[in-house]
Structures are given as C-alpha cells and as structure tokens.
Amino acid sequence: MGNLLGIRRPKDGEQNLIQPPPEESAGQAPVTPSFVYVLAFFSALGGFLFGYDTGVVSGAMLPLKKEMNLNKLWQELLVSSTVGAAAVSSLGGGFLNGWLGRRICILIASFIFSIGGIILGLAPSKEVLLVGRVTVGLGIGIASMTVPVYIAEVSPPHQRGQLVTINSLFITGGQFIASLIDGAFSYLAHDSWRYMLALSAVPAVLQFIGFIFLPESPRWLLQSGRTQEAHDVLRRIRGGRSVDVEYESIKTSIEDEEREAGGDAPVILRILRHGPTRRALIVGCGLQMFQQLSGINTVMYYSATILQMAGIRDDKRAIWLTAATSGCNFVFTLLGVWLVDRLGRRKLTLGSLCGTGLSLALLALGFLLSAQNAPSISLHPLDPQNSTCSLYETCQPCMLDPLCGFCYRDNGTAVYDSSCVPANQTYTSLASWGRCSNQSEAADGLFWAYNYCPTSYSWLVLLGLLLYLAFFAPGMGTMPWTVNSEIYPLWARSTGNACSSGVNWIFNVLVSLTFLHVAEFLTYQGAFFMYAGLVVLGLFFILGCLPETQGLQLEDIESLFSGPLCSCGASSPNDRRNVQYIRRGSDSGPERSGALDSGGSVAYITLK
Ligand SMILES: O[C@H]1[C@H](O)[C@@H](O)[C@H](O)[C@@H](O)[C@H]1O
C-alpha cells in the first residue's frame, strides 16, 4: 500500500527509487522522442473513429430516411445501436485488454471498424445497415477504453496528460470531420449516405497497417512476463537512452501491486475489495458519469434544433450548423491539450465544470425568456385529424408536443396568422395538412416550426451554446478519459477503464435518448436547468474526490487513493513532485523535513 504522500512503499534497503531522467537532473527540459508522437497519433486514430462514427449518423440520417423509407423506430435504432454496442464492448474490452494486450486490442478494433465501414457502405437493406452500425459500435467500445490506456503507458510522465488528451482531440476532430463530410456529400442526389458511412474505413485501415508495425505497451509486456521485450520497447520509446532505473521501478511496482492485490478472484472483485482501487474506480466512473450528465450529447446531437430555436430556420442549413457546433467543440478541445500539463487535471476539470454549469444556466435562461415571450396562436383551423394540436393557445406547448408544429407568418418584426397543426410524422419538416404541408422552406413569409418557437432571445441561446462548448470541451470533455487512463495500478487498469468507459456509454445512451422526453415533461429550460443542477453535484464530487495526478509516474498514482474517499482532493501535486525514499532510521543526507506514513514504515524528504 502507498503512503499518504502518494508514493508506493519502497522495499527493504531501497533508496532513491524515483529518479528524475538524466536530462532532468542535469537541469534540462525533458525531451519526448518523436517515436512516442507516432505511437500517440496512430492510436488516437481510434479516437477519431469513435468521433467519426458517432458524429456521421445525424447527417447521414437525412438522405437515409428518404431512400430507405425509415420510420422513427428505425431511425432511433440506427443511432442508438452503435452507442449501445459500444457500451457492451467497452465492458468486455477490459478482459480482452488484460488477456491479449493493448496492441492486439487496437488491431481488433481497427479491423472491426474497417469491416463495419464496408458493411455500411454496401448495405442493401436497413437490416444490414443495423448490423453495420452495431459492428462499428463494437469497435468504438474497445477503442474508447484501450487507446487512452495505451498512450498513457507509453508516454513519459511529464507529457502524459497532453498525449492522452490528444485522443480526446481526435474524438472531437472525428465528429467535426464527420459533419463536414455530411455537408459535402449532402449535395449528391443518391447514395450520399453510403459515402458518408463508408469513409470511416479509410482511417481504420491506416490504423490497422500502422499497428502491425508498432510495439506493445512495455508495462503490459512486463506484467505478462515478457521482460526482455518490455525492456527493449521501453528503450525505444525513451529515445534509446538508458532505462534501467525506470524499468526496475515499473517492475518492482508490478510485483508489489500483485502481492498486495493478490488472489485468484476476478479482477473486478479484487478492485472492489482493495481500498485504493475501489476509490479510484468510484472517481473514474463518477467522472465519466458527470461528463455525460453535463448534457454534452444533447448539445451535439440536437444542436440543429437548438440553433433553429435561435432563429436559423432553413432546414438545409442545419447540417452545416451542426458542423459549426462540432468545430467549436474541436477547437476548444485543443485548448485542453495545451492546458492539461500546465494547469493540471484538477484545476482544469473544476474550472471547466464551473463554466459548463453557468453556460447551461444561461442556455436555460434563453429558453425561459423565449418561452415567456412565445407567440400566441391566432388561427384555429378545423382539424380533420381531431388532434390535440388545435387546443393550444401559445406556441410553447405546441412546440413541446411531438405530434404538433407551429405554422406562422413573419413580416420581420412580428409573428402573425399563427396556428398549431399536426406534423407529418414521417417527415416532420412539414405539417400533415394545411398551408404548411407542402413546403419546407419559407415562402411568402410563411414558416413551419417543428420543435422550436420563433423568438427574439435567440442570441442568448446562441451565446449559451458557444460558452457551453468553450468551457466543456477543454476540461470535462477530455479529463474523464485522461484521468481514467492514469489512476489504476497496472493489474486493475484494463478492468477499471472498461468499467468507467462502460459507465460513459451507458449514460450517453440514457441522456441522449431521454432528452426529447425530458424536454417534453420539463420544457427545454427545465431540462437545461436540470443539467445545470447535475453539474453542481458533479462539482462537489470533483472538488472532494479528484486528486491531482499531473507529473507523477503511473506506478505512484495508486497511493493518492490510500486515504478515505473524497479526502484526496485536498492535496496539491507539487507536494509530491520531488520526493525520494530513504530507509527508516537512515539519517544521512541533505537538510530535510521528514515524516512517517500512516504505517510508520516510510520516511520522506521533500527537496525544495
Ligand atoms: O469526450 C467525448 C467528447 O466530448 C465528445 O464530444 C462526446 O460526444 C463524447 O460523448 C465524449 O465522451
């Protein structure tokens, strides 16, 4: 077990186990060999595919709906089957990761992505499309839990945060490119969806070929007893310099860890029985849960609706506006990559969450003001379908009823001649009868609004949306993945990441599938106030429970969780940076301030 300072217990007679790399001790800035960047790039292609395949479907759905005649159930199935399959395979990926290693898992994921892309591109029917979407989902799940672990295990500690966060950059980059591809191909008259969906096979094949030549994680090799190979790989990724100290340090930690967490019980039970790993798992899963509860995917999947509400009415433009939203998410993730090893994980996450909560409140306020000033309904035409739509007096309840839409005229300053009529349920961009039933675009100042009401508070909603992405992306969008790749000891890393990624995907499905229903019951402002409330809960959780892992060697992070849960947020990383072990009773050496750990077995000195 580690001590309170975040350092594992040294063995008898062990001294100065944690040594800075030679160039650091010589006072130079540590250098990251370019080979590590190559590894990070090829593995982060897994993140790109994760982003591409979750992002591409919204744009592909527009032509798909028409060409395959999809009803609502099939549309929902094609969107959520991928996320559902990712939840299942990320949980199963933990076992594969421990058994076959990171490299083989990445190869499997890229192979699955390639096959999935081919199935989607050639699909002759909606059933085959579903098989393709499930297939890519299986790939996403494995990639989402393996890639951050692999990058963390090959990175030097001083740059680990930045390199792992590149994977998140690739996720949002994948979402952004997907929306651009959707936009570009939407001009094709036929089969545009085939190109949109199949293109993911290109980076998948590239990753597969790359990983045939790239090495396995040295930490996994060591754990599997392939010591010589582990030493060679470590030397390669440290630019050929001597790695004996680091190698020995990793090896001793693995032996210690295995002794402490020993037993033949399944890993998940050992994680739950062992205090530090149990606490790390709670923190890791909590972070992933709060990432999704902050509502990112309601914004990503429904940004077109939200922007429509903000006054942008042209349906065809929606696809490009989604690109603007995901572009914003991507640009601000870049800021996260820059900040993570400067600010540290804790400050970045806390700052991001505060801003996310405030922006959600602003978004909600925008919706509230829009609702309070929603235009009233002036025309009540006789409804041949006898629907509930004709009962409403203002646009607000009409918009919240999924069966109805708002048909109105606008002369630039005011809304007039407004009615609430049933929406065409197969193509909600039109009314099912009446003056708004045969045109999807404005003509003679006549408009059809499904899911939104015309408002003069659109700027507030737009501002809220932009601020939301600007705050969410650099911290909450990236840190849950980064922190999870670091906080588990090697024996628990695969399973820990599998569980936390599973939690991420499960809450992703939950939040995105329930959003429209939640909005129907609570209204849009109610839904966004609810997400803001959940963010406040998340803030307390992170404030109390998330320790700083910046700059620490992976093997030393477990002991950050040795105290009671939610006492670990209190320590600062700099307290732990320059620490050496000395033997108990040994008193020689420079001036020091010393202390004993809770077990009384380790003394430390902090070099200033
Ligand atoms: O970190 C990512 C990223 O923020 C994406 O934009 C989002 O769609 C994912 O759900 C999330 O896990």
Which CATH number fits the domain that encloses residue 82?
A: 1.20.1250.20
Q: Are residues 476 and 355 in the same domain?
A: yes
pLDDT tens, position by position, 236-272: 999 888 889 889 988 988 887 777 666 678 889 999 9
> Which residues, judged by CB distance below 6 Å to any ligand atom, belong to the binding site of ligand 1?
168, 171-172, 175, 291, 296-297, 300, 329, 477, 504, 508
What is this structure's pTM? Answer: 0.82
Structure confidence at residue 23 as a pLDDT band (50, 70, 90): very low
CA 129/CA 436 separation, integer angstroms: 33
Structure confidence at residue 215 as a pLDDT band (50, 70, 90): very high
* Cα(438) to centroid(ligand 1), Å: 38
pLDDT tens, position by position, 357-402: 999 999 999 989 988 888 999 999 988 888 899 999 999 899 888 8
Place of tokens 């527009």: 62
Structure confidence at residue 41 as a pLDDT band (50, 70, 90): very high
* Cα(291) to centroid(ligand 1), Å: 8
* Cα(320) to centroid(ligand 1), Å: 19
Structure confidence at residue 28 as a pLDDT band (50, 70, 90): low
* Cα(580) to centroid(ligand 1), Å: 39
Side chain identity at 380, as an amino acid letter? H
Q: Are residues 177 and 288 in the same domain?
A: no
* Cα(172) to centroid(ligand 1), Å: 7
Spatial CB neighbours of 376, under 8 Å, sequence gap ≥ 6: 393, 394, 395, 418
pLDDT for residue 197: 95
Percentage with pLDDT > 90 across the chain: 54
Structure confidence at residue 17 as a pLDDT band (50, 70, 90): very low
Residue 556 is assigned to a structural domain of this protein? yes
pLDDT for residue 606: 33
Say whether 489 sits in a helix, a strand or coil: coil
Least confident of 86-100, 437-451, 553-567, 593-607: 593-607
Residue 46 has pLDDT above 70, yes or no: yes
Q: Could you please report the per-residue DSSP string of 137-192?
A: HHHHHHHHHHHHHHHHHHS-GGGHHHHHHHHHHHHHHHHHHHHHHHHHHTT-SS-H
Supply the ipTM of this predicted assembly: 0.98
Residue 596 is assigned to a structural domain of this protein? no
Cα 99 to Cα 43, 76, 105, 495: the distances in Å are 19, 35, 9, 11
pLDDT for residue 527: 93
Please give the number of the atom of ligand 1 that sits closest to the Cα of 168: 1
Q: Are residues 461 and 446 in the same domain?
A: no
- The residues with which 603 forms a beta bridge, in sequence order, are 582, 596
The residue segments making up the domain with residue 385 are 375-454
CA 500/CA 480 separation, integer angstroms: 9
Task: Record the tokens describing residue 432, joined without a space.
Answer: 């099912």
Region 200-214: mean pLDDT is 96
In the chain, count H helices and then E strands.
20, 5
The residue whose CB lies within 8 Å of the most ligand 1 atoms, and thus the one to mutate among 144, 288, 297, 299, is 297
The residue whose CB lies within 8 Å of the most ligand 1 atoms, and thus the one to mutate among 90, 164, 166, 291, is 291
Query: What is the residue-averaged pLDDT of the chain?
Result: 84
Residue 246 is assigned to a structural domain of this protein? no
pLDDT tens, position by position, 453-512: 888 887 888 889 889 999 999 999 999 999 999 999 888 898 999 999 999 999 999 998
Q: Are residues 449 and 541 in the same domain?
A: no
Q: Are 216 and 224 in contact (CB under 8 A)?
A: no
The residue whose CB lies within 8 Å of the most ligand 1 atoms, and thus the one to mutate among 300, 332, 333, 348, is 300
Spatial CB neighbours of 548, under 8 Å, sequence gap ≥ 6: 344, 345, 346, 560, 571, 572, 573
Please give the number of the atom of ligand 1 that sits closest to the Cα of 508: 10
Q: Are residues 413 and 463 in the same domain?
A: no
Q: Are residues 201 and 346 in the same domain?
A: no
Q: Is 226 left (phi over 0), alpha (psi -120 to 50) or beta?
A: beta
The residue whose CB lies within 8 Å of the most ligand 1 atoms, and thus the one to mutate among 49, 171, 503, is 171
Q: List the residue whose alpha carbon is closest to atom 12 of ligand 1.
A: 477
Name the strand (E) or helix (H) holding 582. Answer: strand 579-582
pLDDT for residue 12: 37
* Cα(275) to centroid(ligand 1), Å: 30
* Cα(300) to centroid(ligand 1), Å: 9
Residue 6 is assigned to a structural domain of this protein? no
pLDDT for residue 572: 47
Residue 24 has pLDDT above 50, yes or no: no
3-state helix, strand, coil split of the chain in percent (to 5) is: 65, 5, 30
Q: Are residues 346 and 380 in the same domain?
A: no
Percentage with pLDDT > 70 across the chain: 84
Residue 531 is assigned to a structural domain of this protein? yes
Residue 56 has pLDDT above 70, yes or no: yes
Query: Considering Cα of 8, then 14, then 16, then 18, what sign does the dihedral take?
Result: negative
CA proximity to 426, closest of 73, 149, 172, 180: 73
Query: Considering Cα of 391, then 394, then 400, then 403, what sign does the dihedral take?
Result: positive
CA proximity to 518, closest of 536, 533, 501: 533
CA 447/CA 452 separation, integer angstroms: 12
Structure confidence at residue 313 as a pLDDT band (50, 70, 90): low
Structure confidence at residue 579 as a pLDDT band (50, 70, 90): very low
Count the neighbouring beta carbons within 10 Å of the beta carbon of residue 125: 9
Q: Are residues 425 and 292 in the same domain?
A: no
Please give the number of the atom of ligand 1 that sits closest to the Cα of 480: 1
Q: Are 509 and 87 in contact (CB under 8 A)?
A: yes
Q: Are residues 43 and 127 in the same domain?
A: yes
pLDDT for residue 60: 87
* Cα(472) to centroid(ligand 1), Å: 10
Can you say how many angstroms the Cα of residue 470 is from the centroid of all Cα atoms in its chain? 15
Residue 602 is assigned to a structural domain of this protein? no
pLDDT for residue 315: 55
Least confident of 7-11, 325-329, 452-456: 7-11
Q: Are residues 278 and 397 in the same domain?
A: no
Residue 386 is assigned to a structural domain of this protein? yes
Structurally, the chain folds into a number of domains equal to 3
pLDDT tens, position by position, 391-440: 999 998 998 888 999 999 988 788 999 999 999 877 777 899 988 987 65
